[in-house]
Structure 1
Amino acid sequence: MTDAPVVSISSGSVRGRWRGASAAFLGIPFAQAPVGGLRFAAPVAPEPWEGVRDALEYGPTAQRGDKGVTLIPEPSIPGDATLNVNVFTPSPGSADAKLPVLVWIHGGGYVAGSPASPWYDGRAFNRDGIVTVSISYRLGFDGFGHIPGAPSNRGVRDWLAALEWVQANIAAFGGDPDRVTIAGQSAGGGAVLTLLGMPKAQHLFRAAWALSPAVADVGVERSRTLSAKLAHLAGVIPTVDGFRSVPESDLEKLQETAAAAPKGDPLGAVRSLIDEGLPWGPAIDGDLLTQTTLASLESGIGSDKPLVIGTTDDEFTMVLDDVKGRLRLLPAGLLLGRLLTDRDTRRSYLAANVVQRRKGTAAVLGRYVTDAIFRTGVVRVADARGDAPTYAYRFAWPSPTRGWALHCLDVPFWFDCLDADGVQAIAGDAPPRRLAAAVHGAAVSFIRDGDPDWPAWARHPGVTRVFGGPPEAPDVAADGYASVRPLVA
């Protein structure tokens, strides 16, 4: 394996690089650069090229600039050709290998994130006989904002175009287009659920895994209002030509202003996020998305596909760590009333979370935010899918450096990349490899066979695989999300 691997695909030939027993092909365009006349347009197939194209470096990312220290290291790479894929495979050029395929969609609240993270390298999945693809998509207003005269949900259309590229080309990398599993975390997990409930996406994959999914489902009126506000801030008419006249970097800054909550009321901002959701993301457009994701799943769309869905135990509890001393003497019920106004529901919720209450008021408020944004979604989705094969899990191992089983902590365990850059900061000096073997092993089993090896929710409502729980606790809980049920009822 000394010669660089070369693979022929629909638009030309690409040259990758061997890394031991597997190869990486990076920055392959699945669509033309969304600039000039293609800015705010639906993705357009790439122009064919002559000769062999090097695919040795990650391609440009839709995320721009230095985002500072983030929980997942996700670098920004400059350039226009942001619609690209990265393929990691143990069998390049072996069309008869027919290996199962994982397609990974990164998170970042639909406004940030990068497929070039070292955590998303498919090396461990390649070791286990799985071809892995990470995809990019347009972010923020460019990807999801409402523009009269422009196609809606451009970021969603990018997901579809990338998955269509996989269908057309993955056999050349040793993958089986009939055995594609989509997976993603946070906004990427929300993308997975959006695709699972989308009629036009059903032929593109056979299974789905959603880690800590953040579903947007932006309503029509909110989408239009945000776009009009952004146009006003930019000083342009809210049309394709108007928005194209504003530099991308200016729109990126202004979109934060347009979506910002009123200052001076941090709990009010949190309540707004809980009640209204993320400002940018997949929107109800009457075309690709005609109803909410939950309604789509409840109607039976995607019911033929197995789904694994779960969260970490304390996704966002960490955000209150800096003020836990000041909140320590304040009653949890009193402050929670600012976020959860129904008294009976609040009392039931506090009664169901006695263990968390012992950790202090900040822990209760943080857990509520986690539950309202993430963990209630697991129960709602699993219940909505009825008899469809749905498997729930929790990631309960607390970070030794951050103190919580927090947002993003499960990702390096899922990818089995505990030695990757940035893992030590969130998982400590000696993250448990047995836990990585369990989490990654479940992912491998699911991608191969459609079964993660624990009971399905439909047969035992509430049944949940718990990764990294206390030693005395069972690995499978009879009702692993019981503490959020007062919020779902």
Structure 2
Amino acid sequence: MDSFDAPGEPVTVHAPAGTIIGRRAGHVRRFLGIPYAEAPTGVRRFAPPVPRGRLPEPFDASRHGATSQRVPLFATTTIPEPSIPGDDVLNLGIVAPAPDDRGLLPVMVWIHGGAFLAGSPASPWYEGRAFARDGVVCVTVGYRLGVDGFAPMDGVHPNLGLRDLLLALDWVQENIAAFGGDPDQVTVAGQSAGGAAVLALLSSPAGGGRFHRAVSLSGGIFGGDAEAARDLLERLGRRLGVPPTRTGFGSRTVERIQQAVIDLRDEGGGRLVLGPCAGDDILPVPIADGLTVHGHDVPLLLGATGDEFDGGVEQEARAAARAAGTRVTDALFRSACARTAAARRRAAAGTWLYSFEWPSPVLGGAAHCADLPFFFDVLDAPGVARALGPNPPAGLATLMHADLVGFVRGQDPAWARATGAPGDPAREYGRPGAALAADTTGVYDPVVRAVEC
């Protein structure tokens, strides 16, 4: 079987979007690479996404679709992130249970990470078979990245990548019932940049009604700095020999632009600062401010790993660095959890915090991305042993996945809500020497104090 092929026998679904032919293997049905928008090429490049019309012919959904990532950010990434050629990058994949007598099932729409510059919805770490097993329809979404998705340029609508995601959520509302999913039980979830996108959508007036629950794993509040982004575009333009405009960048391929971004990074050309920016109808105010106003009817589960990008040292040194509250982990990720909980303290819907503490013997700590195979319950997926060692605890995956499935099904977590105040409750997963899951308080206290100061 090709690594991008879905296994099993053909299975056909007749949806408002058209006739879609996927594959069924046992209890799991897979429908991959379904276009939800017109290909963002030609005059549609650097333009808001255009909904895909009804598919005129039966669509073969047996393979993952094209990815926005053409050039990975790094030669080796923790998560396997395949790049797939093609123009139809605005596509989605659905993994759903075979029909039974349970009626319409809850839906989780997954947004991949990658610093808003890279990443792939076709990663085997995002394979939704365990969700299908447990009665959840899992949707993975592709969206525009980097310059094509988030460059602030004159004459270009900002936040095209977020507009893509909003259109994908509209497609889910209109079509997911044909695949057994309930459009009134949609959870939007993501990790890293995907988790940040979830917080951006939660803070946006445009997000209302498109999803009903939200999950942000290692998300951060990564609102883009338009001035810094324009400086990056100036340097990119000089490297590419074009003006930093829609016409200039439009004369260069996506591959060439993505490679130029990586070359700037490798030469120490400053931070890569493309991402959601405030100042339009999607994000009229910064994300942190929007969270105080919007999304208060949407329950939110969010958290971070214990070490994110600060692993590789002994456990005692990691604990001391965390107590100081000065790590990249604290500044970019854990502080965002506390700030988000504080912004939502008056929300009618709850906010719940978690912290992933299991230290990978390979990565040297509870590192960025190490929690994903546990939440997805895919410890047998390609690349997991390389990142987590040969024996990651299966019991922890069972427990973490069950907590996430319960939340997607509409259940409130078993631990108390957070308010952003010192002593906030959180669920800790996999702390050495403790139970696999332990409800605790004060996990984010040093970060809260740092932010309040």
Asked whether the 8 Å contact 2:278–2:287 carries over to 1, the reply is: no
- Aligned counterpart in structure 1 of residue 308 of structure 2, from 315, 319, 327: 315
Aligned to 1:403: 364
- Letter of the 2:76 counterpart: V
The answer as to 2:174 corresponding to 1:168 is yes
Deviations 1:122-177 (A, max 9, x none): 10011111001000011111110012112211111111111111011000000011
Bigger Rg, structure 1 or 2: 1
- Aligned counterpart in structure 1 of residue 194 of structure 2, from 177, 188, 194: 188
The answer as to 2:162 corresponding to 1:156 is yes
Deviations 1:361-393 (A, max 9, x none): 8x8899711111111111111111113210001
- Letter of the 1:205 counterpart: F
Change in CA separation of 1:472 and 1:88 when aligned onto 2, cut-off 3 Å: closer
Q: Distance in 2 between matches of 1:288 and 1:89?
A: 30
Aligned to 2:391: 430
Worse overlay, 279-288 or 251-260 = 251-260
- Letter of the 2:403 counterpart: A
The answer as to 2:238 corresponding to 1:232 is yes
- Letter of the 2:372 counterpart: V
Q: Distance in 2 between matches of 1:221 and 1:368?
A: 25
Asked whether the 8 Å contact 1:107–1:188 carries over to 2, the reply is: yes
Q: Distance in 2 between matches of 1:202 and 1:214?
A: 21
Aligned to 1:289: 283
5+ unaligned residues in a row in structure 1: which ranges?
Answer: 264-268, 329-354
Q: Distance in 2 between matches of 1:84 and 1:90?
A: 20
Q: Distance in 1 between matches of 2:449 and 2:273?
A: 26
Q: Distance in 1 between matches of 2:319 and 2:277?
A: 38
Residue 33 of structure 2: SS of its match in structure 1?
Answer: strand
The answer as to 2:434 corresponding to 1:475 is no
Worse overlay, 399-408 or 172-181 = 399-408
Q: For 1:440-455, what aligned pairs fall within 5 Å after superposition?
A: 440-455=401-416
Deviations 1:267-314 (A, max 9, x none): xx7xxx6xxxx501111133211111111112x210111001100100
Q: CA deviation at 1:197?
A: 0.5
Q: CA deviation at 1:55?
A: 0.2
The answer as to 2:133 corresponding to 1:127 is yes
Q: Distance in 2 between matches of 1:420 and 1:258?
A: 33
Q: CA deviation at 1:427?
A: 1.7
Q: Distance in 1 between matches of 2:340 and 2:227?
A: 25
Q: Distance in 1 between matches of 2:142 and 2:251?
A: 24
Number of residue pairs aligned between Structure 1 and Structure 2: 441
Aligned to 2:3: none
Residue 24 of structure 2: SS of its match in structure 1?
Answer: strand
Q: For 1:29-40, what aligned pairs fall within 5 Å after superposition?
A: 29-40=35-46
Q: CA deviation at 1:479?
A: 1.5
Residue 10 of structure 2: SS of its match in structure 1?
Answer: coil
- Aligned counterpart in structure 2 of residue 279 of structure 1, from 273, 283, 302: 273
Higher helix share: 1
- Letter of the 2:428 counterpart: V
Change in CA separation of 1:173 and 1:359 when aligned onto 2, cut-off 3 Å: closer
What TM-score, normalized to structure 2? 0.91
- Letter of the 1:448 counterpart: R
Q: Distance in 1 between matches of 2:204 and 2:432?
A: 38
Asked whether the 8 Å contact 1:187–1:215 carries over to 2, the reply is: no
Q: Distance in 2 between matches of 1:462 and 1:252?
A: 41
Aligned to 1:382: 341
5+ unaligned residues in a row in structure 2: which ranges?
Answer: 1-7
Worse overlay, 15-24 or 227-236 = 227-236
Q: Distance in 1 between matches of 2:318 and 2:161?
A: 43
- Aligned counterpart in structure 2 of residue 75 of structure 1, from 72, 79, 82: 82
Aligned to 1:464: 426
Change in CA separation of 1:248 and 1:358 when aligned onto 2, cut-off 3 Å: closer
Q: Distance in 2 between matches of 1:470 and 1:199?
A: 42
Asked whether the 8 Å contact 2:306–2:366 carries over to 1, the reply is: yes
Q: Distance in 1 between matches of 2:85 and 2:101?
A: 33
Deviations 1:55-76 (A, max 9, x none): 0000010111465321011111
Asked whether the 8 Å contact 2:144–2:160 carries over to 1, the reply is: yes
Change in CA separation of 1:48 and 1:22 when aligned onto 2, cut-off 3 Å: same
- Letter of the 1:282 counterpart: P
Deviations 1:333-380 (A, max 9, x none): xxxxxxxxxxxxxxxxxxxxxx8547788x889971111111111111
What TM-score, normalized to structure 1? 0.84
Q: CA deviation at 1:203?
A: 1.1
Q: Distance in 1 between matches of 2:319 and 2:106?
A: 43
Asked whether the 8 Å contact 2:220–2:337 carries over to 1, the reply is: no
Asked whether the 8 Å contact 1:27–1:86 carries over to 2, the reply is: yes
Q: Distance in 2 between matches of 1:39 and 1:11?
A: 23
Aligned to 1:215: 221
Q: CA deviation at 1:258?
A: 5.6
Asked whether the 8 Å contact 1:197–1:301 carries over to 2, the reply is: yes
Asked whether the 8 Å contact 1:216–1:280 carries over to 2, the reply is: no
Asked whether the 8 Å contact 2:70–2:258 carries over to 1, the reply is: no
Deviations 1:23-61 (A, max 9, x none): 000000001111112111111122433332110000010
Q: Distance in 1 between matches of 2:192 and 2:318?
A: 28
Q: CA deviation at 1:459?
A: 10
- Letter of the 2:67 counterpart: T
